[in-house]
Amino acid sequence: MLIGKRLSGRYKILDMIGGGGMANVYLARDVILERDVAVKILRLDFASEEEFIRRFQREAQSATSLAHPNIVNIYDVGEENDIYYIVMEYVDGLTLKQYIQKHHPISVEKVLDIMLQLTSAVAHAHQNHIVHRDIKPQNILIDRNGNVKITDFGIAMALSATTITQTNSVLGSVHYLSPEQARGGMATKKSDIYSLGIVMFELLTGRLPFSGESAVSIALKHLQSNIPSPRRWNESIPQSVENIVIRATAKDPFQRYESAEEMAEDLRTALEPERLNEPKFIIPEDEEATKAIPIISSETTTPSLDETIVHHKNGEGKLGKQEKAKKKKRKKWPWFLFFFLIVLSLLGVLALTVLPDWLGPDEIEVPDLTGEELDNAISTLISLGFEVGDTTETPSNEIEKGKVIKTAPNAGKVVKEGTVVDLFISSGKETIRLVDFTGRSYEQVETFLKSQGFRSVTKKEVHHHQPEGTIVGQSPEPNTEVVPEETDIEFTVSIGPEKIVLKDLTNFNLQNLNAYAEATGLVINIVEEKYDDEVPIGFVISQSPEPGTELDKGDEVKVVVSKGKEEIPPKQVFREITIPYDAEPLGTPQEIQIFIEDINHSMTEPYETFYITETVKKRLEFFIAPGEKAGFKVIKDRNVIMDEVIPYPEEE
């Protein structure tokens, strides 16, 4: 566990913030300079490749020379206890891949801004004779202010020299791989330009130009297929912008931009009015393009320069000349060999018959060194005239760590003085590596571990969504090395989901229902809405099952919700009235005012005012709400001549 560890006494690991095929990235604190840094730690499978490590250290050191606002600064490169790491500038933001996924569609102006920053960074690297070889959105960071930074220069360069198969080395990057890299050829500055073109395609469209079932099939498309038009997915892309993608991703490196600076210049002028509708860039026809492309299989490997064989004309080179010289020498030495063998045979007979009696060593017994400290055992063997051979550590449940278990030859055997004696030293009690037992039956695991001699196996029970009796946690954790006889292991075991006692949901409103469903995991369905004079609108009238019922997470609860009081429409009532004319002398106009009170009118203002010179009839219309009343009043020449209250008609 690296969290909390301090590398080189300086970089305190705080948290893991990312990971990939080659390395994991941690947020760390530089305790000397008091600043946050990112520490990239190589995975163990890469750390075991000596050639990769040497090249990685060399190239990472080289990448520290890159000082550019759009390149992640490398502060330090180091190693501690086989942990190889790079200390880099910490960028608080997203990878460009995450940015595309979050912000697509991205405006053309923003795409050009990002690409100008990228080409500026790549141009700076190329000026320093550094080729990235693995440009992709995952290796590009964008901070909260929109500043773009390329990372992983050192790792990408070191990876290009490893002995990994071509398929494995490009798996993560095959979508952005140049055709020459897909063939297994050398990556050049033009390869970085191709990758920039693919990144620009993805920024404009939110997708990759090629997909396939395997890395090999995608690599073949980079070799054989034309990049699709970005305007197919976004017609608003100006032709001048699409032309940049077309040229940067040309199959033939010679048809791409000569440099990242040239590509940047095209980006800067792409939105100038005179360029917006320029003709589509056509890649010149190349006769070489019709030649057969070598087949890439999953077994294809990157050839090493050391493996390159130079063939000379007529099959003869330096090796052929050396062979001729050797043939001349062969004729001279057979007679010399014959006489040498005769002399050697005579000496052998003499050694077997006479010398053993004169010079033979004394015979001595191998001592029993069981339980002795290693230093004492070595001293004893030397003092007795033995040669000390190999020292091998092996587990032992009987012998303490660091002490001798046995010797070879075995103790008590009589051997010649000077015999080599190998020592077997206890590495301590035999340990086993705990596997991850989660998801398994506790009863079966308990039986197995007791058979392995564990001191105790216990459990604590918890409610969990896993079935009853299933292990959901363990202590010690998986991959811990333990001595069974000295280890207590405790499991957290599920007793099934916790039962939920259903609450009384009456008078819960919709907001309360949603909160309760989220908190309990129950599924609440509104099966009916109906009018209710007592329960306000939106509140629960009834439920099924009843309150107090025990349920499991995911069970359904049905509720009926109130629509509030049912609204009864007002009734329409008509009244026929006769307004008499009685003015003196006849013909004198009389002023009439009619006042109405119902749901639409009030007595504060006249409903109608007019003059009569004869008796008239009027039909008045009223709208009366349930339980309410209506009424009218007629005033003639400021005298009330009619005043009536009209009740709500209960019957039709």
Distance from C-alpha of 260 to C-alpha of 118, rounded to nearest angstrom: 9
DSSP string spanning 61-74?
HHHTT---TTBPPE
State the catalytic residue, choosing from 76, 134, 192, 598. Answer: 134
The backbone torsions φ and ψ at residue 209, rounded to the nearest 5 degrees and listed phi first, read: -70, -35
| Chain length of the chain | 652
Q: Where are the alpha helices (DSSP H) in 392-524?
A: 442-451, 510-520
Distance from C-alpha of 174 to C-alpha of 169, rounded to nearest angstrom: 9
Following CA atoms 39, 43, 49, 54 in sequence, which dihedral angle do they give, to the nearest 10 degrees?
A: -10
Instruction: Answer for the pair 470, 494: CB distance below 8 angstroms, yes or no.
Output: yes
Q: Give the C-alpha distances (Å, rounded to integers) separating 422 from 226, 374, 429.
A: 67, 12, 21
Residue 639, judged by CB atoms within 10 A of its CB (0-12, 13-18, 19+), counts as: exposed
Peptide bond into 497 cis (omega under 30): no
Amino acid occupying residue 417:
E
* Closest residue by Cα to residue 494 from 509, 473, 514: 473
Distance from C-alpha of 168 to C-alpha of 53, rounded to nearest angstrom: 18
- Structure-token pair, residue 88: 């880099």
In the three-class reduction of DSSP (H, G, I as helix; E, B as strand; rest coil), residue 573 is classed as strand
Distance from C-alpha of 114 to C-alpha of 493, rounded to nearest angstrom: 52
- Structure-token pair, residue 306: 């050391």
Peptide bond into 476 cis (omega under 30): yes
Pairing of the two strands 35-42 and 23-30: antiparallel
Residue 162 DSSP one-character state: S
The backbone torsions φ and ψ at residue 450, rounded to the nearest 5 degrees and listed phi first, read: -65, -35
Question: Which residues, 6 or more positions from 333, have their beta carbon under 8 angstroms from its beta carbon?
Answer: none
Other CB atoms within 10 Å distance of the CB of residue 134? 26
Instruction: Answer for the pair 78, 85: CB distance below 8 angstroms, yes or no.
Output: yes
Q: Decide if 134 is catalytic.
A: yes
- Structure-token pair, residue 82: 């086989």
Beta strands across the sheet bearing 540-544: 523-530, 556-562, 540-544
* Closest residue by Cα to residue 575 from 631, 615, 627, 628: 631
The backbone torsions φ and ψ at residue 158, rounded to the nearest 5 degrees and listed phi first, read: -70, -40
Query: Could you identify the residue written with the tokens 């002028």?
Result: 269
Q: Give the C-alpha distances (Å, rounded to integers) separating 642 from 212, 573, 621, 638.
A: 93, 17, 16, 12
- Structure-token pair, residue 419: 């015999």
* Closest residue by Cα to residue 160 from 304, 309, 259, 306: 304
Instruction: Answer for the pair 376, 349: CB distance below 8 angstroms, yes or no.
Output: no
Catalytic residue annotation:
134
